[in-house]
Amino acid sequence: MSDQESGVIATVIASHTPRMAYEDKAWDFTLGLIDGLKELGASLRELNPDLIVVNTTHWITTFDWVITSHDHHKGICIAEEAPHLIPELPYDRPGDQAYAEALNDDLNGAEIPSYTTDAKHFHWDYGTAVPLQYLDPESKIPAVLTPTCYASTLDENLQVGRQIDATAKHLGKRAVVIVSNALTHLVVRGPDTWPLPEHMEMDHKFIDMVKAADVDGATNYLPDYARDAKCEMGGRGLGVFLGASKAMEESAGNLSGAQFGPYAQSSASGNANLSLVAA
């Protein structure tokens, strides 16, 4: 368990396929992922985080980073790309306006274009709503959301991950970083189709590096991996995960990596729940 007083205390890659949005209707190949998220969530809650910072894959901005500064998040998530799979998934959870505004100021200070939003009709994407309902089912931990920014490079995503830690330290808050980034993502029609063998091999190489807490190795591998395995969103969220993990490693010393649940397919995408915490 982490005894860090502030900063990033855990980093997570969380699965989010819409076919796992409702546990009672979940497709068979997602059941192990759901159980894994529940187990992972229990271990995260034991760390007593002050907030969750989500970097999500299905809220996409073109040019700028956006940080949600709502005092409270309450609404209905639908999957716009698949409303038959997620027609309505309610959420109701505190936000953290002070952290959101501080992160935004710090990003702009680092010349990363960003602004906050507390737009009344803003609603969560399923990359956020699906994993959070399993990770923290009582919805008590405040959350701040960040999108996938298309104009950002992998390096910028690593930098944002590090900044999430630095801002948490400035405010004396203990933050968990959750990225809802699938691994290989050369999707095809056919929900239970596995990824190509060569892409699964690359996914397992990356997973093994995270489980071995080899943050530097995974970071060096990321550009080739994201390109060759066609990772979801170009692997940008994996960059946030690794940047935040590196910052945590510098504070905490050795890290411990773990996988919760199986490696599973969805429409030829690769999915895994992974975490890093202080060893």
Closest CB to Fe ion among residues 107, 231: 231
Residue nearest to Fe ion (CB): 57
Closest CB to Fe ion among residues 57, 133: 57
Is 11 a binding residue for Fe ion by CB under 5 A? The answer is no
Q: What are the structure tokens assigned to 202, written together?
A: 């690359």
Closest CB to Fe ion among residues 57, 163: 57
Rounded Cα–Cα distance for residues 248 and 245 (Å)? 5
Max CA pair span of the chain: 47
| Residues in region 66-105 near Fe ion by CB under 5 A | none
Q: What are the structure tokens assigned to 135, written together?
A: 């990770």
Q: How many residues bind Fe ion (CB under 5 A)?
A: 1
Least distance (Å) from Fe ion to the CB of residue 162?
A: 24
Closest CB to Fe ion among residues 164, 231: 231
Is 57 a binding residue for Fe ion by CB under 5 A? The answer is yes
User: In degrees to the nearest 10, what's the CA dihedral of 83, 34, 37, 12?
Assistant: -50
Closest CB to Fe ion among residues 11, 57: 57
Closest CB to Fe ion among residues 17, 167: 17
Least distance (Å) from Fe ion to the CB of residue 18?
A: 8
Least distance (Å) from Fe ion to the CB of residue 37?
A: 15
Rounded Cα–Cα distance for residues 64 and 81 (Å)? 22
Q: How many CA atoms lie within 13 A of 197 on its CB side?
A: 0
Stretch that binds Fe ion, among 43-51, 55-63, 97-105, 138-146 (CB under 5 A): 55-63
Least distance (Å) from Fe ion to the CB of residue 233?
A: 8
Is 245 a binding residue for Fe ion by CB under 5 A? The answer is no
Pairing of strands 174-179, 65-68: unpaired
Stretch that binds Fe ion, among 23-31, 52-60, 169-177, 204-212 (CB under 5 A): 52-60
Least distance (Å) from Fe ion to the CB of residue 126?
A: 8
Least distance (Å) from Fe ion to the CB of residue 57?
A: 5
| Interface contacts to Fe ion, rule CB under 5 A | 57
